[in-house]
């Protein structure tokens, strides 16, 4: 059981930053990553569509005997975590929203927290709701930064365009007196060095990739599910459409070559 893999599900490549953090925190675990690239992006789809896709993906990963599921995607976490938990009560499932929200509350002294995310994630209200569930007097300020996703996928993580784009988004952020900025999109951890260099020192930066990896470690320890092997764990990649672009961007996101395999989810038939 303990050597069984951890499933990581995302609509596309963004979850690879979560996988990267998981590999650092849990080097002995085996991972199966599923990117639903035939249907990416999920951000502009309705909640019921996202729930259906997430159920299909989880069924697929369960057939590969995963011991735990990490949802490496803010949109799926916001729209489908509760649905998945109800449908699969025996599978531990970790989303990317609560770990980041809890870490932000720990890091903030003033309880005035900024959240930088995509429009879809902010519209779901999930960060605001989750933060206030744990601290109902917290103030949450949200900012959308949609261009950071394509900038990351273009590989423009520094340089003039990236710097000016981040500066333009941070101008909005700095209008409020926050002392913690939470990155609520799985693409954004790639910009941590740039954002850190442009953010005033009194604002703590929290990203959901490393916090989700930490939450996964705690969950495995709690359930006694850690893999005790002493060699490095493996990674396998499944995508639902042409693997070429995923490989190209994946190399950039993970810093190594990856060789994804195309699979068909139930009811999907992309080819």
Residues that bind a copy of itself (CB under 8 A): 37-41, 44-46, 48-49, 119, 146-147, 149-151, 153-154, 156, 160-161, 164-165, 168, 241-242, 245, 270-271
> Greatest CA span in the chain, whole angstroms?
52
Please, which residue, 234 or 259, has the CB nearer to a copy of itself? Answer: 259
3-state secondary structure of 99: helix
On whether the CB atoms of residues 234 and 264 are closer than 8 A, the answer is no
DSSP one-letter string for 199-212: S-TTSEEEEHHHHH
Q: Which is nearer to a copy of itself, 37 or 186 (CB)?
A: 37
Residue ranges in the chain assigned as alpha helix (H): 16-25, 47-63, 74-87, 97-107, 119-124, 126-134, 148-154, 160-173, 192-198, 208-223, 243-254
- What DSSP designation does 56 have? H
* Distance of closest approach, residue 14 Cβ to a copy of itself, in angstroms: 14
In 3-state terms, what secondary structure has residue 79?
helix
Task: Give catalytic residue positions.
Answer: 73, 185
User: Shortest distance, CB of residue 259 to a copy of itself, whole angstroms?
Assistant: 18
- Which residue, 41 or 233, has its beta carbon nearer to a copy of itself? 41
Nearer to a copy of itself, 17 or 144 (CB): 144
What is the number of other CB atoms lying within 10 angstroms of the CB of residue 242? 14
Neighbours of 80 (CB within 10 A): 28
The least CB distance from residue 96 to a copy of itself, in Å, is: 22
Q: How far is the CB of 75 from a copy of itself (least distance, A)?
A: 13
């Amino acid at each position: 059981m303990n050597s069984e893999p951890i499933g990581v599900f995302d609509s596309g490549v963004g979850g690879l930053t979560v996988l990267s953090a998981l590999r650092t925190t849990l080097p002995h675990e085996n991972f199966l990553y599923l990117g639903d690239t035939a249907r990416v992006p999920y951000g502009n789809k309705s909640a019921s569509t996202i729930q259906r896709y997430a159920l299909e993906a989880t069924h697929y990963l369960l057939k590969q005997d995963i011991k735990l599921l990490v949802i490496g995607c803010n949109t799926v976490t916001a729209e489908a975590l509760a649905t998945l938990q109800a449908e699969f009560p025996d599978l531990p499932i970790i989303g990317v929203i609560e770990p980041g929200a809890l870490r932000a509350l720990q890091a903030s002294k003033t309880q005035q927290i900024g959240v930088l995310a995509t429009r879809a994630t902010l519209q779901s209200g999930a960060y605001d709701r989750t933060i206030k569930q744990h601290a109902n007097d917290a103030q949450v300020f949200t900012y959308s930064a949609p261009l950071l996703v394509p900038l990351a996928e273009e590989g423009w993580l520094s340089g003039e365009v990236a710097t000016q784009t981040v500066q333009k988004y941070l101008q909005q952020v700095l209008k409020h007196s926050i002392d913690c900025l939470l990155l609520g999109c799985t693409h954004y951890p790639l910009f941590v060095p740039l954002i850190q260099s442009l953010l005033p020192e009194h604002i703590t930066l929290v990203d959901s990739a490393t916090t989700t990896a930490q939450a996964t470690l705690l969950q495995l320890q709690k359930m006694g599910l850690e893999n005790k092997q002493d060699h490095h764990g493996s990674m396998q990649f499944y995508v639902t459409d042409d693997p070429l672009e995923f490989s190209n961007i994946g190399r950039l996101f993970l810093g190594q070559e990856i060789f994804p395999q195309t699979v068909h989810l139930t009811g999907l038939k992309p080819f």
